[in-house]
Structure 1
């Protein structure tokens, strides 16, 4: 037994190291993807959707609080890829780690479930995980950059706002997608593949047209999103929302479609309003539909159990060879005749 315990104790640090490296790699890769498309506000470059925050929160919800060193390590490598880090890198790492950790702690205290099967879970992710917790990361990061002299204090609030919104959009769009992906148990049945393929084809055709059309047709995405939520719940709505957000971000950074002729601030506002409404619609509508479906299944199961219990009681009240009271009276009446 002592040898087995010793082996496990030696394996645990190795397991933590592998886990930290895996989380850091995912964080870094997501950050590099987000940096492919950037916008400039008041001289500061930012990503409209920062997927690393969504990856970090998903890792914390699935692996637990022990994976936070991987988040800090991934943030360090990401900062290192952008240039030579200075003393302000410590504040950046603290802010990048503190936001997702605060989100995890608040969600855990609120009884959050990673299957997002209740409306309560969707609301907690929106207001606690995204809007509230990302205040911490945005504030710490922007204050650090201002104190380091890399940003002007006069531009604090505009830069803080876009930083906060970018982190929040990462949580709203990426975290539910990853939770659904990690929680998938089996592919859809064969009877649903035709509808799944139809949804994929419609999304591949409609979303690029809606985001790049000069008619400002972003609203065309919502019927597709509602269809995905009604028929496939989170497994359909969150990939559609993420795809639409990516296409809208590409259109915004290219200055085409609904974003033609707008200033940088107007592009940022329009894009983030679209991304926010898209994420809220997909997340909350899917959560409501899933909760109603689970309630219906629970009622049906309770009715089935009640029917089986009544059948069992009836079998005990009328054992074999003994007729029920009404049948016994009918037989006596026939015998008297």
Structure 2
């Protein structure tokens, strides 16, 4: 997505069509990836993680609301790859489109910064972008299944919950990573490559063991999340969370490891509770650490400037003029939008 945003030609005439088609293609690809693993709840097939919702929210935050036709087009292609065209298909596409749009609007109104450098941004993404806005897609989607007699009325709530959590997990896991990639500077600093390599090796060894162990060692993942958040903030913690979530989903859909000898409902409940708790921990902890570090840097800079002023005053000289100090509240963040 960052590469798409960086193409200057998208701002020229005809670039909007390319932008919409690129968003649609990315949405469709993410949808096909999400459909690789499925779970059955009350006879309905659901995905534990639905990456297109996270991609759609990130696209709207980076490119602006004007890219919504690409989301609708991508959602239509995904639905048509599963079933034939019927009137209720349009309702499902509408729900999958309106939910990310609502998320972007709510985040924009809350003053969300795409660098996720404040705890406020992390909380907004969790409760407004993921848990709140995704109520739309799950309610519309499952409601249409009931109205079309494809789902029994008594099965509404279990399927609705699985749909809602799957969409919310897509936002929690995918959106932060895409926002991070959009703002990343390449090449990255090589100063901590050794520690990053060590964290990667440990994660690749511990996470599969924790997920596929029959004695349920999922709690071993949390020290890795904390290590990654403390040392590498959002990038490290969310990559670790994404790796763990993918492996946990594979184990859950195969019914092995920590998910063996469980019913389908129990598998879904355990998987979604684990994925949700892990994603919340990674996102909020990294946002809190980033906010504290930015505050510390601002205080250190202000103290250094004060020392320089005092030195000049002691020497009987007028302090040199300084440029206007930027507001430290945003910590370098940038408000979403860009042509909504």
**Normalised by the size of structure 2, how large is the TM-score?**
0.88
What is aligned with 1:301? 301
Against the structure 1 CA distance between its residues 11 and 54, is the aligned structure 2 distance closer, same or farther, given a 3 Å change threshold?
A: closer
Distance 1:89 1:222 in 2: 40
What is aligned with 2:241? 241
Q: 2:149 matched to 1:140?
A: no
What is aligned with 2:49? 49
Q: 2:161 matched to 1:161?
A: yes
Pair member with larger Rg:
1
What is aligned with 2:178? 178
Distance 1:29 1:186 in 2: 25
What is aligned with 2:223? 223
What is the deviation of 1:235? 1.1
Distance 2:137 2:12 in 1: 30
More displaced stretch, 27-36 vs 139-148: 139-148
Against the structure 1 CA distance between its residues 308 and 186, is the aligned structure 2 distance closer, same or farther, given a 3 Å change threshold?
A: farther
What is aligned with 1:25? 25
Q: Which has the higher helix share?
A: 1
- The 5-angstrom pairing of residues 1-337 of structure 1 reads 12=12, 14-317=14-317
Distance 1:96 1:173 in 2: 17
Query: C-alpha offsets along residues 15-59 of structure 1, whole Å, 9 cap, x if unaligned?
Result: 111001111111111111010000000000000011110000000
What is the deviation of 1:317? 4.6
What is the deviation of 1:163? 0.5
> C-alpha root-mean-square deviation of aligned residues, in Å?
1.5
Aligned partner of residue 25 in structure 2, secondary structure: helix
Structure 2: give runs of 5+ residues left out of the alignment. 1-9, 319-340
Distance 1:116 1:225 in 2: 17
Distance 2:212 2:128 in 1: 33
Aligned partner of residue 85 in structure 2, secondary structure: coil
What is the deviation of 1:11? 7.5
What is the deviation of 1:315? 3.7
Structure 1: give runs of 5+ residues left out of the alignment. 1-9, 319-337
More displaced stretch, 211-220 vs 146-155: 146-155
Distance 1:13 1:85 in 2: 33
**Normalised by the size of structure 1, how large is the TM-score?**
0.89
Against the structure 1 CA distance between its residues 186 and 261, is the aligned structure 2 distance closer, same or farther, given a 3 Å change threshold?
A: same
What is the deviation of 1:13? 5.0
Q: Which has the higher contact order (CA 8 A, sep 6+)?
A: 2
Distance 2:134 2:77 in 1: 21
What is the deviation of 1:181? 1.7
Distance 2:107 2:196 in 1: 32
Aligned partner of residue 88 in structure 1, secondary structure: helix
Query: C-alpha offsets along residues 69-103 of structure 1, whole Å, 9 cap, x if unaligned?
Result: 00000000101111212111110111000100001
What is the deviation of 1:187? 4.2
Distance 1:85 1:13 in 2: 33
Aligned partner of residue 45 in structure 1, secondary structure: strand
Query: C-alpha offsets along residues 146-193 of structure 1, whole Å, 9 cap, x if unaligned?
Result: 222222222111111110011011111111111112211134433300
More displaced stretch, 12-21 vs 192-201: 12-21
